[in-house]
Structure 1
Amino acid sequence: MILNPSTWLSSFSFPSLLLGTATPSEYSPIVLTGVLLSLIVVYIASKLGGEISRKINLPPVLGELVAGVIVGASVLHLLVFPEGGADAGDSVLMTVLQFIGNLTPDAVTSIFEAQSEVVSVLAEIGVIILLFEIGLESDLKELTKVGYQATIVACVGVAVPFGAGTIGLIYLFNFPAIPAIFAGAALTATSIGITSKVLSEIGQLKSREGQIIVGAAVIDDILGIIVLAVVASLAKTGEVDIANVIYLIVSATSFLIGSILLGKFFNKSFVAAADRLQTRGNIIIPALVFAFFMAFIGNAIHLEAILGAFAAGLVLDETDKRKELDEQVKPIADILVPIFFITVGAKVDLSVLNPSTPANREGLIIATFLIIVAIIGKVVTGWAVFGQPGINRVAIGVGMIPRGEVGLVFAGIGAASGVLDKPLQAAIIVMVILTTFIAPPLLRLAFKESSDPQKELNQLDITR
């Protein structure tokens, strides 16, 4: 059985995924061997990429993405997938398994499909855990501190790149509506993790600009998840239905807000349950049950499982067990989330951006267009702030640029849904990489170029 990409996360059938309905049971040990070899490649690549990226003062997630590209279809062919057009003969790991087991070509094909399905499902579970973790890190109390200014910045930061990207792809590059909308949605993301880390390093996290940036990034995450739920659901239907769009927006918003409001009642039950349980996992197991249940509900009402996981994270962020839960989620995320990032990179074939091939030149032009829209669409958000004399508008705009892990979520889900062709998928990945690379040095420069009075004002805000 090959998992239909358009129904990512819509159902799990682990026995059939582990063996594949077309895979004879005698091949199951070989399938397991292939999965284990794949995970070895994933973890070595993720750690090497992350460590190298950290040493050069860049986000580790970028190193994981680049490492995925290297071990995947673009370079080493250690980790390739059928949905990317690859077959068993393209996989180095399958060549190793064929040599070890003396397998027939038909057996290798069945094993390749089953092994790829298992890795893909693990990656999909990884993205659920990632969004749950992002929800835990999105402190709703920050929204009240920055107020309407952050809300305006976030709304402009979502609307401008989404509109410009979607319209540009449709009218300048003649893309169908669904792929154009998905690519436009990928432009809306902002990585709160990357931005807040840089702000902390340069001592601007508690400045007026820093508070607005972080608050806007939190709201941007919420808006981005709603947008993602909408466009991913549109990808399933294959058409743009205005009534369906309105339904999805209303249901996504109601689901998220309702989850947060009901969370006040759930938090007491969660704490009580955690205190009553005496065995290991008394906190993390109830939390994961809640996260997976919310993901199931999100999927059941025709939204996305990740929206439910994100809502679960927001709810549990308010509980008294939040700090303990945050620490216990990290090891699980460390195990599963790298599979997602490495898989996203591995599925990207950057050869489509090779300018020496005439057919690829359109992909490069698309990537250039997306990068320009991605940067300008966020920089303009600084000028959405009003009533704040002396505010560093450039710093606010630059702080919203990096897409980071949130942008990768969009790219990965778009690829899994089958709506993005190779040039557009690779162009989105390149946009994510570049915006995440350039944002940290530009943010430092933007604050460095501030006038002395502004610096003094920022320092005054910090002391307060």
Structure 2
Amino acid sequence: MHHSLLLIVLVLLIAVLAVTACRSLRVPPMLGYLVVGFLAGPGVMNLVPQGAETEFLGEIGIVFMMFSIGLEFSLAKLNAMRQLVFGVGLAQVVLTLLAIGGIIWWLSGSALAGFAVGGALAMSSTAIVSKLLSERLEMSQPHGQLAIGVLLFQDLAVVPLLILLPAFAANSDHLWADLGAAALKVVVVMSLLLVFGQRLMRPWFHLVARQRSGELFTINVLLVTLGIAYLTQRAGLSLPLGAFVAGMLISETEYRFQVEEDIKPFRDILLGFFFVTVGMKLNVGVLFARAGDIGVMLLLLLSVKLVIVYGIGRAFGHRAHDSLKGALALAQGGEFGFVLLALSGSLHLIDSPLEQSALAAIVMSMLAAPFLIQYADRISKRLIKQDWALQAVDLHQILVQTMAKDEHVIICGYGRSGQSLARLLEAEDISFFALDLDPERVREAGEAGDPVVFGDAGKREVLMAAGAMRAKAVVITFADTHASERIIHMVHELRRDLPVIVRTIDDSDMARLREAGADEVVAEVMEGSLMLASHALMVLGVPMSRVLRRIRTVREQRYSLFTGFFRGGSDEMDGVDDSDQPRLYSVQLVAGAHAVGMPLGGLKLDKLGVGVRGIRRRNIRLADFAADCELQEDDVLVLLGRPAALAQAESLLLQG
């Protein structure tokens, strides 16, 4: 008893350390689970016995993953992406399976082994690719759409592969008859589930939801998921197929999002255990003994997939640049490859050494995936030159739209926050120009007359075309720290005196963004809490003037750039001339400026009525600066004061 508990504690400790290390290195956690299984399994420490019980728990993890995919299955979405899904996706799976399967058949002498390994290596990692593309804000870009369309078809292709492998393994003399019977069985079972299940699902969930019990609702979700999976297994199909159907049924109800939240803890934990069981299959001895075979398998996986996806992308009219970036995103193996290899091994379609080689190749390719996606843009630029002519056309279109703009605001991201900012700028008659990476949003906003184009603000040439050299400010409206840092760096390379304001979710990355050179960082959680506090205080009877004064004080302490904007009165009066109100102004100390080499306090800017709200040096904003801070060439001083005082201060700093 105590020994078993100690083993469980050790496995959990290894899991926590491995997943923590993966997150610290920005590597998908599933790779950490694979390492845990490898270390804790029979191949290394032998802490966890490999048997039917562990295999069953791993299969339950796949059940919940297929259920989640079923929840996200949308006929409308599928119809909108039908060319990518059923064109590029179908061609990728079929051609990759045939190419790799044919090579494995030639090497091993077994057509069934070739089919099994080819099908497994044709899959890519939905978890890794979708997460990395989402983090890099590339989901809506052409290469991101290409990758997602192929991944969606791969998810669907798993279902027939799960049916075909057992049928091939039966090695019957009546193979085609067996396949026909299996197809008929699928049609009948799916029809019964989709027709009768659809009619029963909504009223059944209504009945459960009316009990207003969170525990009962979660238990019901588990019942439906595992129950339908059990029915499909008893019908001679598979547990994952039943889970997929269950997800599809629930996706058509209004309880889809609640179900998705309730099922997530079970899915993540059990899916993690599935990857642990996969890692347990890796044997150190076999890995060393077949290092050459693993290298060949890895090269085969990456190169064949890369060439096929790139070729198909070009054949379907995608740019060379986008096709190559999409191919790099899809070049790795995926979690469904583990499922198909595990099934093939249990059906004796492939021997253990071949299974080990394929497993190791998939794991290594998944380790390489984050780097392939991260450097995809650099790789494609180096390998593909002619695509720049097409990109130049896009840049020309941006340039044409911004030629007449001067002292405008560049809005990076035209989502809800960006559009709200644009409306306020329009109300103040301030010119703006927006860049966004969602082609559908750009199209709709462009048709409505908004000055927005498709473009990546993190690229130098796009910012130049958007008029960064004539702009008055840059506002990053999406909450993505990595992308924001990239844009800030590029803006400051072009113009070090151009103010950059950044939005973030909370204050966890405020210091990081300030160090990157942001003039101000606005945290949503902070602003939301201020609004909540102000309404609560007014409901409690605190006078509005006192509430506004409190909020103003907190903002001035939190946002140094706002200091001074709330002077005099709590309400803005119509008709009041605010042209002489304090405002921000950036001054760059060019070579030969009077203030270079002088201490900040020696300039006595306060006597002019001007305050220094920030100093940016070599693209880094100085957090603390005292009166004895010596100013250097190329420093950018962020000043706050009235227009006349600012003009005097600029003259003093530059000319003396």
TM range (shorter): 0.7 to 0.9
1:67 corresponding residue in structure 2: 36
Maintained 8 Å contact 1:204/1:458? no
1:132 corresponding residue in structure 2: 67
The question of 1:459 aligning with 2:389 is answered no
Maintained 8 Å contact 1:190/1:221? no
The CA deviation at 1:370 is 4.2
Alignment of 1:241-320 (within 5 A): 241-249=175-183, 251-252=185-186, 259=193, 264-320=198-254
Maintained 8 Å contact 1:66/1:345? yes
Aligned residues: 394
TM-score under structure 1 length normalisation: 0.74
Describe the shift of the 1:297–1:127 C-alpha distance in structure 2 as closer, same or farther (beyond 3 A).
Answer: same
Name the one with the larger helix percent: 1
> How many angstroms apart in 2 are the aligned matches of 1:283 and 1:147?
35
Maintained 8 Å contact 2:71/2:251? yes
- Structure 2 counterpart of 1:382, which letter? G
Describe the shift of the 1:341–1:424 C-alpha distance in structure 2 as closer, same or farther (beyond 3 A).
Answer: same
> How many angstroms apart in 2 are the aligned matches of 1:219 and 1:136?
15
1:47 corresponding residue in structure 2: 16
> How many angstroms apart in 2 are the aligned matches of 1:390 and 1:370?
21
The question of 1:143 aligning with 2:83 is answered no
The CA deviation at 1:313 is 1.7
Describe the shift of the 1:46–1:252 C-alpha distance in structure 2 as closer, same or farther (beyond 3 A).
Answer: farther
Maintained 8 Å contact 1:166/1:180? yes
- Helix, strand or coil for the counterpart of 1:403? coil
> How many angstroms apart in 2 are the aligned matches of 1:55 and 1:401?
24
- Structure 1 counterpart of 2:287, which letter? L
Q: CA offsets per residue over residues 82-112 of structure 1, 9 Å max, x none? A: xxxxxxxxxxxxxxxxxxxxxxxxxxxxxxx
- Helix, strand or coil for the counterpart of 2:114? helix
- Structure 2 counterpart of 1:122, which letter? L
The question of 1:373 aligning with 2:342 is answered no
1:104 corresponding residue in structure 2: none
- Helix, strand or coil for the counterpart of 2:225? helix
Describe the shift of the 1:447–1:329 C-alpha distance in structure 2 as closer, same or farther (beyond 3 A).
Answer: same
- Helix, strand or coil for the counterpart of 2:249? helix
- Helix, strand or coil for the counterpart of 1:142? helix
Among all aligned residue pairs of Structure 1 and Structure 2, give the percentage whose two residues are the same amino acid.
Answer: 24
2:117 corresponding residue in structure 1: 183
2:370 corresponding residue in structure 1: 440
Q: CA offsets per residue over residues 141-178 of structure 1, 9 Å max, x none? A: 4322222233211101210121112221112332x333
Name the one with the larger strand percent: 2
> How many angstroms apart in 1 are the aligned matches of 2:304 and 2:132?
23
Computed over aligned residues only, the root mean square deviation of the Cα atoms, in angstroms, reads 3.2
- Structure 1 counterpart of 2:156, which letter? I
The CA deviation at 1:371 is 4.6
1:157 corresponding residue in structure 2: 92
Alignment of 1:344-359 (within 5 A): 344-354=278-288, 357=289
Maintained 8 Å contact 1:349/1:422? no
Which of 257, 263, 275 in structure 2 is aligned with 1:323?
A: 257
Describe the shift of the 1:191–1:368 C-alpha distance in structure 2 as closer, same or farther (beyond 3 A).
Answer: closer
Describe the shift of the 1:60–1:253 C-alpha distance in structure 2 as closer, same or farther (beyond 3 A).
Answer: farther
The CA deviation at 1:432 is 1.6
The question of 1:431 aligning with 2:361 is answered yes
> How many angstroms apart in 1 are the aligned matches of 2:30 and 2:172?
31
TM-score under structure 2 length normalisation: 0.54
The CA deviation at 1:40 is 3.8
Alignment of 1:2-13 (within 5 A): none
Q: CA offsets per residue over residues 404-450 of structure 1, 9 Å max, x none? A: 32222223333344433222112221222233233333233334546
The CA deviation at 1:463 is 4.0
Alignment of 1:91-240 (within 5 A): 116-174=51-109, 176-236=110-170
Describe the shift of the 1:224–1:125 C-alpha distance in structure 2 as closer, same or farther (beyond 3 A).
Answer: closer
Maintained 8 Å contact 1:348/1:425? no
Describe the shift of the 1:418–1:340 C-alpha distance in structure 2 as closer, same or farther (beyond 3 A).
Answer: farther
Describe the shift of the 1:74–1:322 C-alpha distance in structure 2 as closer, same or farther (beyond 3 A).
Answer: same
The CA deviation at 1:250 is 5.6
Q: CA offsets per residue over residues 224-279 of structure 1, 9 Å max, x none? A: 22212321443355789233234435644675577556664344224313323344
- Structure 2 counterpart of 1:415, which letter? G
> How many angstroms apart in 1 are the aligned matches of 2:189 and 2:92?
23
Which of 333, 338, 344 in structure 2 is aligned with 1:403?
A: 333
The question of 1:76 aligning with 2:45 is answered yes
Unaligned runs of 5+ in 2: 382-387, 399-434, 443-656
Maintained 8 Å contact 2:334/2:366? yes
Maintained 8 Å contact 1:53/1:59? yes
Describe the shift of the 1:54–1:289 C-alpha distance in structure 2 as closer, same or farther (beyond 3 A).
Answer: same
2:274 corresponding residue in structure 1: 340
- Helix, strand or coil for the counterpart of 1:215? helix
- Structure 2 counterpart of 1:324, which letter? Q
- Helix, strand or coil for the counterpart of 1:412? helix
- Helix, strand or coil for the counterpart of 1:172? helix
2:324 corresponding residue in structure 1: 394
- Structure 2 counterpart of 1:219, which letter? F
Describe the shift of the 1:125–1:459 C-alpha distance in structure 2 as closer, same or farther (beyond 3 A).
Answer: closer
Maintained 8 Å contact 2:294/2:361? no
Q: CA offsets per residue over residues 371-418 of structure 1, 9 Å max, x none? A: 5434444444423423x5677111222233333322222233333444
Describe the shift of the 1:384–1:439 C-alpha distance in structure 2 as closer, same or farther (beyond 3 A).
Answer: farther
Maintained 8 Å contact 2:283/2:356? yes
> How many angstroms apart in 2 are the aligned matches of 1:138 and 1:181?
27
Maintained 8 Å contact 1:47/1:64? no
- Structure 1 counterpart of 2:60, which letter? I
> How many angstroms apart in 2 are the aligned matches of 1:372 and 1:390?
17
- Structure 2 counterpart of 1:328, which letter? D
The CA deviation at 1:328 is 1.0
> How many angstroms apart in 1 are the aligned matches of 2:273 and 2:331?
25
Maintained 8 Å contact 1:182/1:231? yes
The question of 1:382 aligning with 2:313 is answered yes
- Structure 2 counterpart of 1:459, which letter? L
Q: Which stretch shows the higher mean deviation, 411-420 or 215-224?
A: 411-420
- Helix, strand or coil for the counterpart of 2:252? coil
Q: CA offsets per residue over residues 172-210 of structure 1, 9 Å max, x none? A: 332x33332221110122222222222222222122332
- Helix, strand or coil for the counterpart of 2:145? helix
Maintained 8 Å contact 1:153/1:384? no
Describe the shift of the 1:313–1:426 C-alpha distance in structure 2 as closer, same or farther (beyond 3 A).
Answer: same
- Helix, strand or coil for the counterpart of 1:57? coil
Q: Which stretch shows the higher mean deviation, 273-282 or 428-437?
A: 273-282
Structure number, greater radius of gyration:
2
Describe the shift of the 1:307–1:423 C-alpha distance in structure 2 as closer, same or farther (beyond 3 A).
Answer: same
> How many angstroms apart in 1 are the aligned matches of 2:352 and 2:255?
44
1:99 corresponding residue in structure 2: none
